[in-house]
Amino acid sequence: MKIFTGAQIRELDKYTIEHEPVESIDLMERAAKSITHAITETWSNGMPVVVFAGPGNNGGDALAVARMLAEQRYNVSVYLFNINDNLSEDCKTNKQRLLECKSVRKFDEVVNEFDPPKLENNTLVIDGLFGSGLNKPLSGGFASLVKYINQSAATVVSIDVPSGLMTEDNTYNVRANIIKADVTLTLQNKKLAFLFAENQKFIGKLRVLDIRLSKEGMDKMVSHYSVIDEDDLRPRLLHRDPYAHKGDMGHALIVAGSYGMAGAAVLATKACFRCGAGKVTVCTPKLNNTIMQISVPEAIMHIDKEETFFSESIETADFDALGIGPGLGTQEGTAIAFISQVRRAQIPVVIDADGLNILSSHRAWLQQLPKGIIMTPHPREFERLSGNRYGDSYERLSNARDMAEHLQAYIIIKGHNSALCMPDGNIVFNPTGNAGMATAGSGDVLTGIITGLLARGYRQADACMLGMYLHGLAGDMAAKDLGEESVVASDIIKYLPKAFKRLND
């Protein structure tokens, strides 16, 4: 599913108007009907409604919704803010239609002084002040109104976008001046800003309403942002030949674990096997040998000469993919062995955890990484890797995209809605996963999953997208059965077969 910018949304509206064809006011009426239906199926007409409408098309939507609610016997009071005497044409039309509607309890066009209504806890506020066209922080009277609404006990429903929130970049926004909605009814597609953790407190519960914008227009429009769709993943799945043997299924190399961190190697290895790798060899220190042999008897062991840490790279000619970093440690001997291992690899490579920490301490080594490498940092790991602190997720994501393009790498910023930044500048978000996966070892499992898929024969982009999706889906299935509080990393591995089965079915 594509994610469009605010500018692209306006172009898509225009395309729909020209090619359906449909008048812009009729397209607004269509959107208002969808919004009204979503409201009426949730709140009864016994709840008083206060509508705040701005001067643009978001305000026009709000005025149309107010009229439709009043026609269904809702007790509706409307405040239209026309401070500069400059309403959009469709907003003007809906203002006139509202004035002709005799069912509206109160209509007040604010041009100067504003006496705010009392907002009780049984009041439903419809926020239609500003939508996807906003390009600067709210200030003055609008900022004061937003703060007044946020301090009230009323239930707030925002139309398309909570007023004050910009659809992409909120790095320099004034967060105190953004509506905190209980529900956001967004039109046609999610907005990029909706995918970032720090904006969730403004969005509340999100519903995406289909207002039938041109499918042809959406297909034609190029977007650098998208969300993984299960139907798009299914054609990418590789299926086993009935006569295949283990040598056909790929041989993965996992370099992981230091003394006291054997668990990271165990988790990555088990996940690698669960994703179809025919063979997995684990390179780990001597003292981890017994643990690994007992925990993952299917694995082939390559024991490092040192007892407690990884110290010597190995030849990769016999392997199909390399996963390196989980529990590896960051001492200098390991760091030297790490970069040697990565540089000599002629196979797809996944770097995670301590592998990323080593690169953060030796940032000049980033230029030595082979093209097509996959890195899976969480936000703080990426900040260390890039040497920067970021004001918000958009700024971090933009930096990650720049790094992915510069290094010709695949960078997965892990978290809710994990984001895959690709060498061509495109960014793909993952919709699966839950808060129960915020647990030790979850990242090690993802490393094993992606490494297993690479060994199995998937290309880097497909392995990353499928890996993120399966990782989150298995976590969702585990949380459904066990509850988010009780999910541990090994549960994700246990549910991988079910996640695969759902995709295959």
Angle in degrees, CA 104, 107, 110, rounded to 5: 165
Residues 202 and 255 in one domain: no
Contact 111, 79 (CB under 8 A): no
Task: Flag whether 241 is in a domain.
Answer: no
Report helix, strand or coil for 375.
Answer: strand
Both 146 and 282 in one domain: the answer is no
* CB distance 427 to 224 below 8 Å: yes
46 burial via Cβ count (<10 Å: 0-12, 13-18, 19+): exposed
Within a domain: 107: yes
* Same domain, residue pair 289 and 142: no
* Alpha helices for 239-322 (secondary structure H): 262-274, 289-295
Position 47 scores a pLDDT of 95
Classify each residue of 418-430 as buried b or exposed e, where b means 16 or more C-beta atoms within 10 Å of its C-beta. Answer: bbbbbbeebbbbb
Q: How many CB atoms lie within 10 A of CB 338?
A: 26
Phi first, then psi, for residue 109 (nearest 5°) are -95, 110
In degrees, rounded to 5, the angle at the alpha carbon of residue 369 between the alpha carbons of residues 460 and 432 is 35
| Final residue belonging to a domain, choices 223, 255, 281 | 223
Kindly report, residue by residue over 439-456, the tens digit of the pLDDT: 999 999 999 999 999 999
Rg for the chain, CA atoms, rounded:
27
> Domain span at residue 127?
2-223
Query: Are 270 and 188 members of one domain?
Result: no
192, 5 in Cβ contact below 8 A? Answer: yes
Q: How far apart are alpha carbons 262 and 266 in whole angstroms? A: 6
CA dist 356 to 326, 374, 380, Å?
Answer: 10, 11, 11
Number of domains in the chain: 2
> Per the structure block, which two tokens stand in for 457?
């024969």
Q: For residue 366, give the DSSP letter.
A: G
Rounded to 5°, angle at Cα 212 from 206 and 218: 90
CA-nearest of 123, 121, 163, 114 to 141 is 114
Of 280, 287, 316, 321, give the one whose Cα is nearest residue 301: 280
116 with 77: CB under 8 angstroms? no
- What pLDDT shows up at residue 505? 87
pLDDT by residue, tens only, the chain of 505 residues: 999 999 999 999 999 999 999 999 999 999 999 999 999 999 999 999 999 999 999 999 999 999 999 999 999 999 999 999 999 999 999 999 999 998 999 999 999 889 999 999 999 999 999 999 999 999 999 999 999 999 999 999 999 999 999 999 999 999 999 999 999 999 999 999 999 999 999 999 999 999 999 999 999 999 999 999 999 999 999 999 999 999 999 999 999 999 999 999 999 999 999 999 999 999 999 999 999 999 999 999 999 999 999 999 999 999 999 999 999 999 999 999 999 999 999 999 999 999 999 999 999 999 999 999 999 999 999 999 999 999 899 999 999 999 999 999 999 999 999 999 999 999 999 999 999 999 999 999 999 999 999 999 999 999 999 999 999 999 999 999 999 999 999 999 999 999 999 999 8
Helix (H, G, I), strand (E, B) or coil at 403: helix
In a domain, 146, yes or no: yes
CATH number at residue 358: 3.40.1190.20
208 plus 278 within the same structural domain: no
Both tokens assigned to 19: 């090619």
Is the CB of residue 447 less than 8 Å from the CB of residue 225?
Answer: no
Q: Are residues 299 and 426 in the same domain?
A: yes
Rounded Cα distance between 200 and 63, Å, is: 26
Closest by CA to 104, choosing from 46, 50, 40, is 50
% of the chain at pLDDT higher than 90: 99
CATH code of the domain containing 64: 3.40.50.10260
* Distance between CA atoms of residues 303 and 242, nearest Å: 34
Q: Is residue 242 part of a domain?
A: no
Q: Is 320 part of a structural domain of the chain?
A: yes
DSSP per-residue letters across 47-78: S-EEEEE-SSHHHHHHHHHHHHHHHTT--EEE
Q: At which of 190, 223, 256 does a domain end?
A: 223
Answer whether residue 59 is part of any domain.
yes
Contact of 277 with 298, CB cutoff 8 Å = no
End residue of a domain, out of 159, 191, 223: 223
Helices (H) and strands (E) in the chain, counts: 17, 18
Q: How far apart are CA 468 and CA 52, in angstroms?
A: 41
Q: Are 315 and 453 part of one and the same domain?
A: yes
Q: Are 181 and 204 in contact (CB under 8 A)?
A: yes
- Residue 196 sits in the same domain as residue 338: no
**413 in the same domain as 290:** yes
Number of Cβ atoms within 10 Å of the Cβ of 481: 12
Kindly state whether residues 206 and 338 are assigned to the same domain. Answer: no
Q: Are residues 440 and 499 in the same domain?
A: yes
492 assigned to some structural domain: yes
Q: Identify whether residues 33 and 164 lie together within a single domain.
A: yes
Locate 446 and state its tokens.
Answer: 């993802």
